[in-house]
């Protein structure tokens, strides 16, 4: 019997993360349609979320891959939290075995405020939800960059 090449899995559903030392924003997105949605904010202890909560989100949204925002300085250099975000991305991949990508999140805070203002004003959004919207914009930016087409 001939050995046929396995079909490459198309990455369709993603979870996006806005990593923070105390809070980690989470969003989901569907690559084919380019849609994104802020989901929740997970509390972090020692730079880690409750992994069972992450696993529940993976199952609920049936995700194929992860995108973790990479906090860089404006000149593109790394900062201490950049290394923590990279470590978080490695842990995600190691625990769940799904493709994990990082994406530049410079300016995401300003963009989140602008985005929320367009949606009716960011003052209506609780501070605790802000990181979930940041995760949504990271994922939206990742899709728009065309990087997800490589998945």
For residue 97, what is the domain's CATH number? 3.30.420.140
> 48 phi and psi, to 5 degrees?
-130, 140
What local confidence, expressed as pLDDT, does residue 47 receive? 84
In a domain, 59, yes or no: yes
Q: How many domains does one find in the chain?
A: 1
Express each pLDDT in 73-129 by its tens digit: 878 888 898 999 999 999 999 999 999 999 988 766 666 666 666 666 555 555 567
In a domain, 2, yes or no: no
Other C-beta atoms closer than 10 Å to the C-beta of 2 total 3
pLDDT-above-70 percentage for the chain: 75
Tokens of 106: 């410079």
Q: Is 22 helix (H, G, I), strand (E, B) or coil?
A: coil
In a domain, 68, yes or no: yes
What local confidence, expressed as pLDDT, does residue 151 receive? 45
Domain holding 21, by residue range, is 13-150
In a domain, 93, yes or no: yes
């Amino acid at each position: 019997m001939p050995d046929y090449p396995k079909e490459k899995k198309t990455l369709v559903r993603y979870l996006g993360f806005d990593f923070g030392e105390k809070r980690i924003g989470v969003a989901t997105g569907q690559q084919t349609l380019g849609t994104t949605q802020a989901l929740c904010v997970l509390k972090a202890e020692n730079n880690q979320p409750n992994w069972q909560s992450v696993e529940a989100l993976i199952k609920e949204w049936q995700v194929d891959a992860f995108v973790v925002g990479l906090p860089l300085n404006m000149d593109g250099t790394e900062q201490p939290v950049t290394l923590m975000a990279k470590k978080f991305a490695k842990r995600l991949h190691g625990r769940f075995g799904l493709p994990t990508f990082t994406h530049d999140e410079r300016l995401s805070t300003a963009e989140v405020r602008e985005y929320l203002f367009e949606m009716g004003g960011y003052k209506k959004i609780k501070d605790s939800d802000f990181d979930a919207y940041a995760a949504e914009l990271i994922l939206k930016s990742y899709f728009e960059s065309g990087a997800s087409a490589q998945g």
